[in-house]
Amino acid sequence: MASVRSLGFRTDVMLRRMAGATVEEREGFIVVRTTANPTFYWGNFLLFPQPPEAGAPERWLRAFEAEFPEAAHVAIGVDGVDGALGAAEELRALGLTEERSVVLTAQVLATPRPADPTFDLRVLRTDEEWHQPVEFRESVDEDDSAGHREFVERRVAEFRALTEAGRGVYLGAFVDGILRAGLGLFAADGLARYQNVETHPDFRGRGLASTLIVEAARLVREQQRVEQFVIVADPSYFAVDIYRRLGFRDAEQQVQWLRPPRSVG
Ligand SMILES: CC(C)(COP(=O)(O)OP(=O)(O)OC[C@H]1O[C@@H](n2cnc3c(N)ncnc32)[C@H](O)[C@@H]1OP(=O)(O)O)[C@@H](O)C(=O)NCCC(=O)NCCS
């Protein structure tokens, strides 16, 4: 999509399209809408081409509410590569909080230290296997509400549809038949984007995530041409250093503004 400059948002929008979302151009912004998963914040958001000038945040919020009248959240992306925030105070005054991520890229990945050989790496295929990422997320996430489970089920259904369509892989590491780490890697137009890199807390630090990242890259390259692998990380969390050790280099900063649903009760 030519009008999205940053690799971070270009691959976000690419993945949304691949998963069946609509992407509509409006005067001054883009609307990304995932009707199959309306509570997915970054499946239902507005993308503006540059940071807000003074006075713009109020209009941005009204635009979001007009596009998503039913949404309990507000999610607004700012296309850019340098992390510029613009009229941040006005957005904060409207209850939004910024999240600045680092977008990393690699053309070739390094070889990780060998993972524990008792783990069985495989691309998920069967119904039984596809049930496991949902259970896995339930065991890792703190939110055990019905709404959260539904959200996770819909996300996993997306990963399954993309994997079955040959657009990439959801790769898992199993021990004794139970999924203990997993990630998605999906690609189009020479760009492959990682999703949901996660290892069960009891199985961390054994090389699982590193091995999955490298193996997924190899598998997706077998399926299609990949010029760049893209991964997005929190710059203050140690995972970003795992990615750097595997050969990823910092390429951009991504800015996302979010107001989560107000908690009830
Ligand atoms: C980030 C995460 C996926 C890493 O999974 P993992 O399977 O433990 O990763 P690995 O075992 O491959 O560890 C890679 C490196 O991190 C190091 N490491 C592991 N836990 C660490 C910790 N708590 N603090 C600092 N370093 C740590 C390991 O020593 C290892 O280094 P090495 O390869 O140089 O020896 C896992 O911690 C996780 O699921 N976190 C929560 C979800 C998340 O935030 N994902 C990242 C989204 S950007």
Mean of per-residue pLDDT scores for the chain? 94
CA of 2 to the centre of ligand 1 (A): 35
233 Cβ inside 6 Å of ligand 1? yes
pLDDT of residue 263: 65
| pLDDT tens, position by position, 22-68 | 999 999 999 999 999 999 999 999 999 999 999 999 999 999 999 99
Q: What is the 3-state secondary structure (H, E, C) of the chain?
A: CCCCCCHHHHHHHHHHHHCCCEEEEECCEEEEECCCCCCCHHHCEEEECCCCCCCHHHHHHHHHHHHCCCCCCEEEEECCCECCCCCHHHHHHCCCEEEEEEEEEECCCCCCCCCCCCCEEEECCCHHHHHHHHHHHHHHCCCCCHHHHHHHHHHHHHHHHHHHCCCEEEEEEEECCEEEEEEEEEEECEEEEEEEEEECHHHCCCCHHHHHHHHHHHHHHHHCCEEEEEEEECCCCCHHHHHHHCCCEEEEEEEEEEECCCCCC
210 Cβ inside 6 Å of ligand 1? yes
| pLDDT tens, position by position, 211-231 | 999 999 999 999 999 999 999
CA of 197 to the centre of ligand 1 (A): 10
1 confidence band (pLDDT: 50, 70, 90):
very low
CA of 204 to the centre of ligand 1 (A): 6
In the chain the domains, ranked by start, together with CATH numbers, are 7-103+255-259 (no CATH), 120-246 (3.40.630.30)
